[in-house]
Structure 1
Amino acid sequence: MFAQPAASVVLPLPGYSFNAHISSPAAVQLRPKTERTQTPTPPSFSIRAATVQDAPAIAELGATVFSTTFGFSIPTPDLNTYLDEAYSASAIEKGILAPSTHIIVACANTDNRVIGFAQLTEGTSEPCIADLERVVELQRLYIYADFQGAGVGRTLTREVEKMARDRRYRIMWLGVWEGNFKAQRVYEAMGYSRVGEREFKMGRCIQTGWIMCKDL
């Protein structure tokens, strides 16, 4: 079991500020509701390691899902700055080639289109898990909205966890935005527990995220 750390006061970094309109997880849920469409038949898909040729497709997927999920809570200049840094094709290609990152993609069997991806990142940590040994990060897990709920995310997660165990890691950790209640519930259902918090910035915008861990 992971111990729940004591609550602490989090102060803005010099030169940055929190978004007043998203000061609590409850506040971020006030975005307009969208109409639900009929759930499509679960797609047939396969999982494989990403190649540099996948970089543009992964970049587009990441930017699209990130903007759809979080864009309403971030000032546009900050959102654009973050997307340029994190989800340009060159940034994704660099990640694919880096020895410390391992990116896998889910591809639809009908047309081989990339519909989801996950990234395992070695060598990262946070203060709240600094005393844990053999930890590795599930840094990214993104799936197009049309394919969410079809088992793509769970399949990618299981494959990443297998990759981690094969590399003799004992604990998987991840960060999830404090206002992303849906993702939090999914991760909890997969065995992850909240162990702390962290700040992260997008442009000049400071957000708060949960740190969650799971024994492998």
Structure 2
Amino acid sequence: MLVHHQHPVPLPPSSAPSAPAEYLEYPYNAHISSPTAVQLRSKPINIEALAPRTKPSFTIRTATIADAPAIARLGSTVFSTTFGFSIPTNDLNAYLTEAYSVEAIEEDIRCATKHILVASSERSSVPNGLTADANEEDGEEEIIGFAQLTEGTSEPCISDIPSIAELQRLYVSTAFHGYGVGKFLASQIEDVARRLGYRALWLGVWEGNFRAQKVYEGLGFVKVGDHEFKMGQCIQMDWIMSKEL
């Protein structure tokens, strides 16, 4: 982020089943001039998604070093799924190695200015058909999401906002979208920021991530500017959003 600003993952706009137009997961296309110009199509309705869903139980806690492998796997998977089609493969792989290796996550957890929370669930309490991490054993705790508050980062468009910290990451396993995991993680990160004395939050969200933009607006964030987000030779544009606490 001067230090890197990771794209927070899209949160579900609601728990109601729907079949919105979403990005095609095409291989990277160098002829697309802007991330917002990617092709769209309407995906067919998933009939199973229309059935009532049992909400999994989960808890929010501070991340430990032992969580680093699960956080790294989840972060890499969700980032690739959400943004991989818009980034050349070599640049994507280099970025994932830099940001989501186990060693990188361990360093983040140890850093005094980075505060990571995880959403965890006992696998025995997860409804049938849901799983975030096939590497976990039955009965073990499963990391289904995580969020990161980072102190000391800024952008020119927010330099006049006093006492502000960054919601740098907000990732939820796609298997658990629609259950309120991301929203609750965000609220807990806000509580951490308040306890540390901050009065505002900011984040960066990709200009082509329309669902996330709407969700963050619903959480009280407003667009205040933009900046370039570089991964190798690939440059994308992020919205900068902020909110008062």
Counterpart of 2:60? 47
Residue 165 to residue 59, structure 1, CA distance change in 2 (3 Å) = same
Counterpart of 2:226? 197
The Cα shift of 1:33 comes to 3.9
Check conservation: 1:31, 1:72, Cα contact below 8 A.
Answer: no
Task: State the distance in 2 between where 1:21 and 1:135 align.
Answer: 35
Pick aligned residue for 1:146 from 153, 156, 175: 175
Counterpart of 2:46? 36
The Cα shift of 1:30 comes to 2.7
Task: State the distance in 1 between where 2:94 and 2:42 align.
Answer: 25
Counterpart of 1:12? none
Counterpart of 1:81? 94
The Cα shift of 1:31 comes to 6.7
Task: State the distance in 2 between where 1:151 and 1:181 align.
Answer: 19
Residues matched between the structures, number: 197
Report the TM-score when normalising by structure 2: 0.77
Q: Which moved more, 1:157-166 or 1:109-118?
A: 109-118
Unpaired stretches in structure 1, ≥5 consecutive residues: 1-18
Cα root mean square deviation, aligned: 1.6
Counterpart of 1:23? 34
Unpaired stretches in structure 2, ≥5 consecutive residues: 1-29, 126-139
Quick one: which amino acid aligns to residue 212 of structure 2?
A
Quick one: which amino acid aligns to residue 102 of structure 2?
A
Task: State the distance in 2 between where 1:171 and 1:104 align.
Answer: 18
The Cα shift of 1:108 comes to 1.2
Counterpart of 1:135? 164
Quick one: which amino acid aligns to residue 98 of structure 2?
E
Pick aligned residue for 2:144 from 93, 112, 115: 115
Quick one: which amino acid aligns to residue 197 of structure 2?
R
The Cα shift of 1:203 comes to 1.6
Task: State the distance in 1 between where 2:197 and 2:110 align.
Answer: 22
% same residue: 59
The Cα shift of 1:36 comes to 3.4
Counterpart of 1:94? 107
Task: State the distance in 2 between where 1:34 and 1:65 align.
Answer: 22
> 1:5-24, aligned counterparts within 5 Å?
20-24=31-35
Counterpart of 1:215? 244
Check conservation: 2:35, 2:86, Cα contact below 8 A.
Answer: no
Pair 1:59 & 2:78 matched? no
Quick one: which amino acid aligns to residue 23 of structure 1?
S
Counterpart of 2:23? none
Pick aligned residue for 1:71 from 80, 84, 91: 84
